[in-house]
Amino acid sequence: MKTTLLVMTLNEIDGMKAIMPRIKREWVDQIIVVDGGSTDGTIEWAKEQGYQVYVQKKRGFRHAYEEVMPLIEGDVIVTFSPDGNSVAEILPDLIAKMREGYDMVIASRYLGPAKSADDDIVTGFGNWLFTKTVNLLHGGKYTDVMVIYRAYKKQLAYDLELMGDSAFALPEKLFGTKISWEPLLSCRAAKRKLKIAEIPGDEPPRIGGERKLQVLRWGAAYYFQFLREVVWWK
């Protein structure tokens, strides 16, 4: 089983300098820094450190994933945020759990002793609501359906039809935003009754940069997807 770590960046130079040295390169088979067009030196620093860098052409996380897919050599993808929110040291635990035969393993911020230092009242409630909704409507057993920090088989992007615009165009148009595919990945993996596990994973405070969360627009778009999935995708 080969693994590819996708490090998702947009003006995260402070976080990159603090977090990336904590990731041992032998933990994975490939590391790609996927950048959304940084202007703060993130791209240059990553290249100086010898990382493979891909600068996406279209705005939005899902476009970044789709564009970089042909460069991914691993059978398993690990998506990672270098802004401080993802704990580097549990990366080997995610991969080890995948080796037990799971289709996806999530670093849950709400499992066991794990906690989020980045949540506020609104985002904490939203994450709880989204998770309960997916569990109730789609048969999930999650504690965290939203988090970026997770490992999953590359093939799921195709099997669960995450590639392309069909599942995203309408909610993005309705709510005037660009969304990622982690929530829908969680939803459709539950609907397909795939083998899914979670491990505890704290979410520390972010390091530098700017918080890019569009709470209301993203929340509305994702909730629309969860409701539509009841009848829209089999």
pLDDT tens digits, residue range 37-79? 999 999 999 999 999 999 999 989 999 999 999 999 999 999 9
Tell me what pLDDT residue 120 has. 87
Domains within the chain, CATH numbers bracketed: 3-232 (3.90.550.10)
Residues 192-215 have pLDDT tens digits of 999 999 999 999 998 976 666 677
The pTM of this model reads: 0.94
- pLDDT band for 232, please (50, 70, 90 cuts): confident
HEC sequence for the chain: CCEEEEEEECCCHHHHHHHHHHCCHHHCCEEEEEECCCCCCHHHHHHHCCCEEEECCCCCHHHHHHHHHHHCCCCEEEEECCCCCCCHHHHHHHHHHHCCCCCEEEEECCCCCCCECCCCHHHHHHHHHHHHHHHHHHCCCCCCCCCCCEEEECCHHHHCCCCCCCCCHHHHHHHCCCCCCHHHHHHHHHHCCCCEEEEECCECCCCCCCCCCCHHHHHHHHHHHHHHHHHHCC
- Using one digit for the tens of pLDDT, what is the confidence trace for 109-151? 999 999 999 888 988 999 999 999 999 999 999 999 999 999 9
